[in-house]
Structures are given as structure tokens and as C-alpha cells.
Structure 1
Amino acid sequence: MATSTKAATGDSDDRLPLKKIPGTYGAPFFGAVKDRLDYFWFQGVDTFFKSRMDEYKSTVYRVNMPPGPPGFPDPRVIVLLDQKSFPVLFDTSLVEKKDVFLGTYRPSLSFTGGYRVLPYLDPSEERHTKLKTFCFNILKDNGPRLFSEFSNAIGDSFIVWETALEEGGTASFSTECAQFAFNFLFRGVVHRDPVAPGEASLGTKGGEHASLWTAPQLAPVASLGLPHAIEELTVHSFPLPFILVKSQYDPIFKFITTYATDALGKAEALGIDRNDAANNLLFFLSFNAFGGFNIFFPAVVREIAGVGPDLMRELVSEVKDVLAATGENKISLQSLGKMSLVTSVVYECFRINPPVPFQYGRAKKDFILESHDASFEIKKGEMLFGYQPFVTNDPKVFADPGTFNPKRFLGPEGEKLISSVFWSNGRETDSPTLQNKQCAGKDLVVTISRLFVAELFNRYESFELAPKPAGPAGPTSQVTFTSLIKNAKT
């Protein structure tokens, strides 16, 4: 007999009507290929989900998710697109998170030195406990250092942008974002500047190496901008081999094993093999953190620019007023905590642009799942999938969800909505533990994102961007400053 997700909370008596999950997987092989073509080319991601949601009149339905055949595992999933059904993906008593980090497939272990790194492990696995403990320890030991290194790194980038504007009239935010994001992370955790001369120096190529190493792992579920036919016959049909990016992986791995001696020593004390720890550290820094910031920071800049000068003036005023009240010359963790508008802007950016848009989990047993409107029977072994940008735009939870509202999370009512922000494999009001799959660095990511906004408006009173490039590239497309107006006292 199927258990109920509500039964676990003692509310099974008021269960909604049980309905059959709508949707179809189509004919074997051909149904999956059709869905993949719709997803990437004929409809695009958002229309792919919305058109089926409208057709089935349900936020829960069946469909095939890329990549699918011929070179990838079973693509069949049950889609969850509302705030009531989606959180089941956080419940490790009901879903297994083994090898579902990127969905229905897992890249070759060659990309990570032959090790299954932490994001691919289920909390039930012993290595998960050891590696997440290692991750928690890294964050605890280096949190203050990461905070200060971020301020230093973005300060260097301010000079680069201002010089570029003086010399050429535009400045690439995106290119420099990759540079400061990579540098502050590795300075903060490895305790060595990647640019500094030395036997394992990365020079200015660190971010480029990380991006190129990541690309083949994401290629089956993303578009690389190649002609449609080429992508479908290559990266969307068969996994790319590690050998293509070995020359990007090797320098980062050497940098970590050469200089991260303190972190690797602590990993060994936890019983973690040194190479295992080094590959996990490489993944944490290059894929999770660097990749996430590289997606999220451009989105933040675009959203703020989209609201316009009034918001910028309010952000400048808040940052300056808080620093004046605390008597600080530079932003600290204490002063950052008093910047409520900065915090609300960041949460709204996470709501609109969650840097990890997908979540997966495989049902551990039969159970009853509820959406806002109905109940559905989930069978053991079925793959569940949630598309977070739809979930965090749920109109039953957020008023005018498609509009970026920088003040949405201010005040008592706004603070109540924070629990409905999902981006970290958990609720924003939850905490990562050894027993769950919530991002270990969730709180640090939010803090650094707030610091990014505060540092930006501590130096500049306004900025303007070049128009967004045409095409489906989304928030990761090139972001370019056409002006940066410094504050009068900067």
C-alpha cells in the first residue's frame, strides 16, 4: 500500500482526490527524441514545460527529459512544477539522490579522477557523511577568509572595468566575473593565489580551465550554441569523453594537490583518501561554486539594471547609511546583516533565477504525492523531476510572480515568503545537514551574493548595460557595462 507524503505529517485525512498522472512518454526511442527536440529547438525550455502543464491542466505530469537515447539512460520522469509537490525532492526518506545530480545520466568518472564526488552520493552512503563533513569543515575554517578575499577580488575587478570603459567605451562584466569568482574561491580555500608565479600556477587561465572542464559534463542537458543538427547528432546523443578536457582538468588538480595541503590533510584525518578529497575539492570549487556564481552574478546585474535608477539609488542609500551608522569604512558581516533591501534583492534574484534550475530524485518506495489540486500515486523506482524556475514562480504562493520585485521579501509578510525560495536542494529556511542533500555552502553563497550587491553599490551610484544579445542564451549570455558612475565620495 502506498504511503502518503501527508501521512508523515499526520494530515492524511484531508487528502485531495487521487488522480492518474497525466502525460505520455510516447513510443520507445522516438517519443524521447521528439521530447528532446521540443525541449531544445521547437519549443524551448519554458514553453516545453508550460505547454504540457496547460494541456494536461496539471502541474504534475509525465514526460521525457534530455538527454535520452541513443547513448543515455531511461529519460522518463514525472515533472513537479508547484510549491506543494516539489519539496518531496528534499525528502530523503521518500527519494534517493544517488547519481541524479545532473538528472537521468551521470558523466564518466574520468572527469573526477575515477571518484563519485559528493553531489552524486545519497546520504545513506558512508562516503557522503565523510565528504560532507569535510565540506562543512572547509567552510567553517575558511568562511571569514572567503568573505575578505571576495572584497579584495572584486576590488581588483572594479579597476579593470573602469579602465576598460575609459579606453574602449565598454567593459565585459562576464569575463571579469569569471576571473574574480575563480580567484576569490581558490585564494580563500586553497590559500594560494591562482595567478601567483609558482610550479603549479594557473595564471589567468583558471576560470577558463574550469569552464571548459565543466562544459562536456553539462553538454547533454544544455545547448552549446552549435548548429542544431550537429548538437543533436553529437552531444545530445552520446556523452563526450574526458580526454577532450584532460588538459583543463590536470592544471587545476595539480594546483590543488600542490597548495591545498591544509585542507587535504584535514580530509585524511577524516579517513578520506587524498586523491578523493582533491577531486571533491576541485568539484566544489570549479563546478558548484565557480559555476554557480558565474551564472548567478550576471543574472543579478541584469535584474537590477532592468528595474532601473530608482532601485540603484535606494541600494546606494542603504549601503551608505548602514556603514555610517556602524562607523565602518568597509563592509563587514555585521553591517551586511543590516542591509535589508540588499538581502531582499538577492532573494528575489534567487527566486527568479535559481542557479541550479533542476532537481531530481528516484522514489524509494510507493507513496502518495500531492499538488495544489490533486493526489497522485508514485511507484518505487520512478524518477521525479522539478523545474525550479516554475516552482518559485508559483502564483498560488507569490503575487505577480513573473515580475522582479526587489522589495518582495521586506517586512514580516515578506520574510514569511523566504521559506518558499528554493535553489539549494532545500528550503531557504532549512539548514544543510549530513542527512540531507542541501548545498553545504548555501549560507555562504547567499552571504557572498549579498556582499556582491553591497560592494557594487558602495562604489557605484549607477550603471548601464549593453542590450541583451538576441537568442536563447538566457542569463549566462554576455553582460557588458556601457557605463559605471562612481559614488561622489568613492
Structure 2
Amino acid sequence: MASFLSVSSSSSPYHNHPLLRGKLTATLTNNPTTTTTSPPTTLPIRKIPSDLSLPLLGPLRDRFAYFYTQGRGEYLRSRINRHRSTVLRLNVPPGPPIARDPAVIALLDAVSFPVLFDADLIEKKNLFTGTFMPSLHLTGGYRTLSYIDTTEPEHAPLKKLLFFLLSHRRTHVVPEFRSTFGNLFDSLESDVASAGTADFSEGNDQAAFNFLIRSLFGKDPAESELGTDGPNIVKKWVLFQLGPILTLGLPSLLEDLTLHSIRLPSFLIKKDYDRLVKFFLDSSAGSILDEAYRLGLSKEEAVHNILFSTCFNAYGGMTILFPNVLKWVGRAGSRVQAELAEEIRAAVKAEGGEVTMKAMESMPLMKSVIYECLRIEPPVSLQYGRARKDFIVNSHEAAFEIRAGELLFGYQPFATKDPRVFDRAEEFVADRFVGEEKEKLLSHVLWSNGPENVSPTVGDKQCAGKDFVVLVARMLLVELFLRYDSFDVEVGASALGSSVKLTSLKPASF
């Protein structure tokens, strides 16, 4: 939840994707991503306003506001209003004692935020989770790719290995998705019929894990020693890594004194993590580990990275994004749902009833809906980077001097819902990206640690599975509307996104 050649904003995001091409030639360039910095600014240079206060009490007070008294969005918005600037210095969690220095320069608009993607200016070493880094005991003693900067020698071979992982069983992705999520919808439909409601989020957790393992590794977790335990183990393992920056809904003082003030000891999860390692070691044997060896990686480093990318990045992304897609499409109402059903069924019918890449490329509204879900509620909202050298960053109204070594922080929803870029920015607009002209706005859809109309390469930190995530999100809508005319949802909150229950499923009538 955590990389290919650039494509124009009007071309297919799968034009150069290895799932279609069957080779990796285009993805294995070692060129850095196109820089995102602006030309020399004509804006006035302004000193970066500061919201920092007392060294110890200030960060603790701010952490409590960030999580409890204000919440993250209001915490950041109130400081923008106070200092009349979308670039400012402030504290972010967890702060002391877990993170000694919580101070960052926040980039909170669509102009300043993309500098975080510029590999020439920004270093990403050990900054995946921000001002603190989880214990390496949680990843077998290895720094995984998400924590490795583009300049480090391990970066290129590890990212190439992920490209290989995504491509080597490309022909299995669509059929495995339809089989796995078809079974899920059968179960959900039965639950709605008998109980009047069905928990999509819970069912999605198991389905997403099974799909990834079956499609990428050709294994069935249920037939291994792991059984059906994978999702629960992964959720516990993620909690041990992200606990300091999560809120679980516990009493605020208790949660702050525990989850945000001490690290959960890694030995408590070691036995479960070792089960995952053994499973992925067995599942990766053969072509995947052969490719790792060819790239100069040890078996151990490869397995821990494959595990992290599959469970933390891909699985974590699907368990956040899929409920969000159902939430926004469910709330969009019957008209949007009817238009989606008509478009999807017509495109599939034109392909002889088969769900193909060509069919999905003939669904402009469906594609726009997925982009809009990724825009309005990106599955990863926080980005960090450290300035490699002095440079100037622009906001809409001013320019600011950044010094080498300073830590930058971006809150993506403020960039992707910037009202100076997007009309009705806070609203879900299903057809926002339909048409060649509107597709140009995809350069401001940034969920993958890069613009949507740019594809990942070995030389950048854009998500290696960017196009894979878009593909499976599209397949979710296709599967849904091949089966149902409409659906209704009940939405709650969870630690990493939304919890969604289905309250009605109207079977397809045409």
C-alpha cells in the first residue's frame, strides 16, 4: 500500500503494465522519476510559520489534539487557518518518548505536496512511517523496500523483484479474482437474505488475502498450515508496526499512555510472524526465489520483502480501499449505480460475456469512479521525506526555503481535495475523470506516492503495484455490477479506514 513508464493522461494506465505485456523491459529502467519541482519562483519568499511550542509539553498536547480533541484533519486545518499558510512547521505523532523529534514542515496543498515525489530533492530512508521507525525484529532484521531510499544499492534489485512478482502469474489475476470474490458475494448475498445485513469488511479481509496468495503464488492458504489465520496474523503484525500512529477507539488517556507512548514488544508477535515467514518461504520457492538469486538477493532478504509487500502493502491496501469503494459508490445512490451496471454489462457483453482488459478499458464511468475513490479518500494519507539539499517549495500563494536535512510531511487528502484544483473538491463526483480533458486531472491523484498518470520505475519510490491496485479495484466494481443492480451500505469507522456492512443487494434484472 506502498513503479512503470510514464503515460499520457489520456492513455490507458495499463498500456505499459507487465500484466498485459508479459515482460519487464519497460519497467526496469533505472532513471529517476521526472522531477516535480517548479521553475524558479516569482512568488514572494515567506518565512515558514511555526506552530511549535514547548519542547516536551507542546508535542504531548499536540498529539492529544491530533488524535482526540480535534482529530487529524481539524488539527491540521486549524493550524492552516491560524497561520494563514498551507506550508508550516508543526508537530506530528507519536512524539516523545517513541519519537524524540516530532517537528516537521507540513505541505498541505496540491502545489507543495508533490515535491515529496522528487527523488533528486527528497530522501526516503527509514521514513515510511514518519518520525519513528518500527523495530527491525518485526521484519526479520531486514529493512524492507518501503524504508530504503532510491540511492541505496538494495533499492533497485528489490523493486525489480516486486515487478517480477506482479507479472510472472499475470494470466491468473482476473480468473482468481472472479473466483475468490464471486464466492465472497455469494456468501454476503446469503447473509443479507437471512439476517438483513452482511459484513463486507470482515469477508473482504479473508477474500483479499486468499486472492493475493492464489493469484501471485499459486497456493491456497487453506491447504497450508496457515489455514485461515493469515488475515488475523497480518492485522496484529501491522498493529505492532503502526500502533504509535493509530487510534483504536479505546479511552483516550489509556490509549495515549500505552499505544502512543510505548512500543508494543516485538516478541509478542514473533511466533505468528514466523508462521508467515515459513508460509511465504514455501510459497516463493521456485521461480520467485530464482529471480531473487539472479538479482543478487539472499533468500532471507527476498522472503521478508515479499512478505512485507504482499501483506503490508498489497493486502493492507485492499482491505482499506475496497470498503472505501463500496462506501462511496453505495452513498452515490441509485442513478450512479444504474449507470455503472449498464456500462459494465454492455462492455462485457461486447466481449462475448468475458471480463477482459479490453472490456474494462471500455468502461469510462467505472474507471472514473475508481480514480475518484482514490482521490477523495487515498488509502495511504501520510507521506514523509527528508530534504537532500536546500531548495524552494511553492504553495499557491508563497514560496518557502527548505534546508538540507529538514523533515517534510504531507497530508495527502488536503492535496487531492484542494479546491483550487478540483471543483466540488469535498464531494464524490462519479464522472469527474470521464473524457480526455477531465483525465488531465489525474496528475493530481496521488495515492501511489506519485501522480496517477505517471507509472513507477526502479529509480523512484512510487508504489510498484500501482496499476495492479487500480486493476483489482476495477474488478471489484465489475464483479459487483455483473451480479447486482444496486446495493445499500451501512458505514462505520475502523483503525485504518471504514467498516462497511451491506444492507441490501438487488440482483441483476437485465
Give secondary structure in 1 for the equivalent of 2:400: strand
**Are the aligned partners of 2:145 and 2:305 in contact in 1 as well (CA < 8 Å)?**
yes
User: Which digits, 9 at most, give the CA deviation of each residue in 1:241-299, with x for residues without a partner?
Assistant: 21222233122111111222121222122111111111111101110011111011111
Amino acid paired to 1:11: P
TM-score, length-scaled by structure 1: 0.94
2:248 counterpart of 1:224:
yes
User: Which digits, 9 at most, give the CA deviation of each residue in 1:52-88, with x for residues without a partner?
Assistant: 1111111101101100101223111001011111111
What is the identity percentage for the equivalent residue pairs of Structure 1 and Structure 2? 45
Quote the residue 1:358 is aligned against.
382
Question: Per-residue deviation at 1:9?
Answer: 6.8
Give secondary structure in 2 for the equivalent of 1:272: coil
**Are the aligned partners of 1:298 and 1:475 in contact in 2 as well (CA < 8 Å)?**
no
2:39 counterpart of 1:11:
yes
**Are the aligned partners of 1:72 and 1:238 in contact in 2 as well (CA < 8 Å)?**
no
Amino acid paired to 2:129: L
CA distance in 2, matches of 1:427, 1:414: 15
Query: Which of structures 1 and 2 has the larger relative contact order (alpha carbons within 8 angstroms, sep 6+)?
Result: 2
2:503 counterpart of 1:487:
no
Question: Per-residue deviation at 1:114?
Answer: 0.3
CA distance in 2, matches of 1:9, 1:361: 14
User: Which digits, 9 at most, give the CA deviation of each residue in 1:345-393, with x for residues without a partner?
Assistant: 0000000010000110001111111111101011111100100011100
**Are the aligned partners of 1:72 and 1:237 in contact in 2 as well (CA < 8 Å)?**
no
CA distance in 2, matches of 1:10, 1:295: 33
Question: Per-residue deviation at 1:10?
Answer: 8.1
1:188-267 map, 5 Å:
188-196=215-223, 198=224, 201-262=225-286, 263-267=288-292
2:26 counterpart of 1:30:
no
1:129-208 map, 5 Å:
129-196=156-223, 198=224, 201-208=225-232
Amino acid paired to 1:429: N
Name whichever of 476-485 and 391-400 sits farther off. Answer: 476-485
Q: How many aligned positions are there?
A: 476
Amino acid paired to 2:294: A
**Are the aligned partners of 1:29 and 1:69 in contact in 2 as well (CA < 8 Å)?**
yes
2:499 counterpart of 1:478:
yes
**Are the aligned partners of 1:79 and 1:386 in contact in 2 as well (CA < 8 Å)?**
yes
CA distance in 2, matches of 1:265, 1:105: 34
Question: Per-residue deviation at 1:462?
Answer: 0.8
Quote the residue 2:73 is aligned against.
46
Question: Per-residue deviation at 1:477?
Answer: 3.6
Question: Per-residue deviation at 1:488?
Answer: 2.8
Structure 1 pair 8–195 and aligned structure 2 pair: CA distance change class (3 A): closer
Structure 1 pair 155–119 and aligned structure 2 pair: CA distance change class (3 A): same
CA distance in 2, matches of 1:24, 1:478: 34
**Are the aligned partners of 1:19 and 1:376 in contact in 2 as well (CA < 8 Å)?**
yes
TM-score, length-scaled by structure 2: 0.91
CA distance in 2, matches of 1:55, 1:87: 23
Quote the residue 1:448 is aligned against.
472
Determine which of 86, 94, 97 is the counterpart of 1:67. Answer: 94
**Are the aligned partners of 2:331 and 2:489 in contact in 1 as well (CA < 8 Å)?**
no
CA distance in 1, matches of 2:193, 2:327: 22
Question: Per-residue deviation at 1:101?
Answer: 0.4
CA distance in 1, matches of 2:471, 2:346: 19
CA distance in 2, matches of 1:147, 1:78: 42
Quote the residue 1:387 is aligned against.
411
List alignment gaps of at least 5 residues for structure 1.
1-6
**Are the aligned partners of 2:445 and 2:451 in contact in 1 as well (CA < 8 Å)?**
yes
Name whichever of 388-397 and 140-149 sits farther off. Answer: 140-149
List alignment gaps of at least 5 residues for structure 2.
1-34
Question: Per-residue deviation at 1:333?
Answer: 1.3
CA distance in 1, matches of 2:127, 2:172: 32
Question: Per-residue deviation at 1:152?
Answer: 1.2
CA distance in 2, matches of 1:475, 1:34: 23
